[in-house]
């Protein structure tokens, strides 16, 4: 795995100003029986994110860090797809778009479903970015959030677009490289290198959990 630029010396998280973003951990993308898997896409790398995403959620909640989950919804009668003169990505597989609204394909994967409940925040989206035409930015600003930890799928599309949009909105961005994936390890690494160079700090899940736990211990020691 590529080694990325480390965080500044003495860096620490502030739980009340931090949010974990869980991007599109849905059956259509992460389940073997989902749309991508059934259409021959290698989803093994995306499935490998389930355990580290769960680790991040549990560590964040224990430290009082909020978690916000995006749910991608496509609609079967979305007229914008048919207006493209260049075939959109949602029509490049035989069965049409993944994660159609109100279907099993759009539901959170079974392994994470027990965690997809209060205190989780749910953000419905219809395009790649978690910020585009959603309430996420408003929610984060209302909660006083200044740092986002990003996890989920898929790297080069919804995750990278969200990372870029978070940075452009002046959030500090921490990127959990092994809790993020796409169908291509090469594409993932290219995206992570770009993110580390321009948009945020790229760390492993273990390193991020270590930051979170340091915060917990420091808080407990000050009581």
Q: 30, 54, 105, 158: which one is catalytic?
A: 158
Q: 24, 67, 105, 178: which one is catalytic?
A: 24
User: Is the separation of the CB atoms in 58 and 116 below 8 Å?
Assistant: no
Q: 30, 125, 165, 178: which one is catalytic?
A: 125
DSSP secondary structure, the chain, as one string: ----PPPPTT----GGGEEEEEE--BHHHHSTTSHHHHTT---HHHHTTHHHHHHHHHHHHHHT-EEEEEEE-B-TT-HHHHT-SS--GGGSSTT--SSBTTSGGGSBPTTTGGGSSTT-EEEEESSS-SSTTSSHHHHHHHTT--EEEEEEE-IIIIIHHHHHHHHHTT-EEEEEEEEEE-S-HHHHHHHHHHHHHHT-EEE-HHHHHHHHHHHHHHHHHH-
- 78 has catalytic annotation: no
- 158 has catalytic annotation: yes
Q: Write the Ramachandran bin of 24: left for phi over 0, alpha for psi from -120 to 50, otherwise beta.
A: left
- 24 has catalytic annotation: yes
DSSP secondary structure, 182-195, as one string: -S-HHHHHHHHHHH
> Catalytic residue positions?
24, 125, 158
């Amino acid at each position: 795995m590529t080694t990325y630029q480390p965080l500044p010396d003495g860096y620490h998280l502030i739980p009340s100003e931090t949010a974990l973003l869980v991007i599109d951990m849905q059956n259509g993308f992460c389940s073997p029986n989902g749309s991508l898997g059934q259409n021959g896409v290698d989803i093994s790398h995306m499935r490998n994110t389930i355990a580290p995403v769960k680790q991040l959620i549990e560590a964040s909640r224990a430290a009082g860090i909020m978690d916000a989950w995006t749910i991608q919804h496509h609609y079967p009668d979305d007229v914008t797809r048919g207006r493209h003169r260049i075939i959109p990505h949602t029509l490049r597989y035989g069965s049409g778009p993944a994660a159609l609204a109100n279907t099993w394909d759009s539901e959170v994967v079974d392994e994470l479903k027990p965690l997809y409940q209060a205190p989780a925040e749910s953000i419905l989206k219809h395009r790649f970015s978690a910020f585009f035409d959603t309430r996420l930015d408003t929610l984060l600003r209302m909660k006083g959030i200044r740092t986002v930890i990003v996890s989920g799928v898929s790297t080069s599309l919804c995750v990278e677009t969200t990372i870029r949009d978070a940075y452009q909105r002046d959030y500090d961005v921490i990127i959990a490289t092994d809790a993020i994936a796409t169908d291509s390890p090469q594409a993932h690494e290219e995206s992570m290198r770009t993110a580390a160079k321009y948009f945020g700090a790229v760390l492993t899940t273990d390193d991020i959990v270590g930051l979170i736990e340091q915060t917990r211990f420091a808080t407990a020691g000050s009581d």
